[in-house]
Amino acid sequence: MEVLRRWVFLLMVVVGECREPVLHRVGGGKYTWLPGSNYTEWASHERFYVGDWLYFGFDIHKYSVYEVTQTNFGSCMAEDFITNITRGGRDVFNLTDARPYYFIDGRGYCSKGMKLAITAVNAPLDDQETPKTSHDSSSSKPYLHQLLTLLFAITLASFFLQ
């Protein structure tokens, strides 16, 4: 039992250190960039980290997506956009910086709720200044632990897959 506990702890440490970028489906589904949604509500349940991606799924014939300034977000003005994210209607956007981002539809539906404001923050463990406690010897051998964790994950998986 103790061994299992330690493995689970190591797994959590390693997963935390190697956080994979997350793809956030705006609105929660495959085609949920639509009028009448409340993206403030949706965003309040997500955490956006630098390196994560946004996915906008929508009908290319009706809607579009632009990154705009905060001012243009407020007034639903797409003309002076920062980035035209519109491509084929299954479009992704990389959150490359720790800052606020503003997105709107440019075809008249911004005022009907097609607007999204989010803030991307640095992932917690990008923060190299986090002091390691002295008894935390695991930090000195990250590759060994990654390897061991991988082996553990494989072992665990093989139990469940039997």
Regarding 35 and contact with ligand NAG (CB under 6 A), the answer is: no
Residues 63-102 interacting with ligand NAG (rule: CB under 6 A): 84, 86-87, 94, 96
Pick one of 21, 29, 74, 124: the residue that binds ligand NAG (CB under 6 A).
Answer: 21
Regarding 57 and contact with ligand NAG (CB under 6 A), the answer is: no
Under 8 Å between Cβ of 109 and 64: no
Please provide the size of the chain in residues: 162
Size of the site for ligand NAG (CB under 6 A): 11
Q: Which tokens hold the place of 157?
A: 């998986």
Residue among 40 and 122 whose Cβ is closer to ligand NAG: 40
| Run of H or E residues at 53 | strand 53-57
Residue among 86 and 152 whose Cβ is closer to ligand NAG: 86
Under 8 Å between Cβ of 112 and 35: yes
Using CA atoms, how far residue 73 sits from 44, 50, 59, 116, in Å, is 18, 21, 21, 9
Residue among 91 and 152 whose Cβ is closer to ligand NAG: 91
Regarding 51 and contact with ligand NAG (CB under 6 A), the answer is: yes
Q: Shortest Cβ contact with ligand NAG: which residue?
A: 21
Pick one of 15, 29, 38, 59: the residue that binds ligand NAG (CB under 6 A).
Answer: 38
For the residues of 109-156, what is the DSSP string, one character each?
-GGGT-EEEEE-B--GGG-TTSPPPTT-GGGG-HHHHHHHHHHHHHHH
Regarding 29 and contact with ligand NAG (CB under 6 A), the answer is: no
Task: Write out the residues near ligand NAG by the rule CB under 6 A.
Answer: 21, 38, 40-41, 44, 51, 84, 86-87, 94, 96
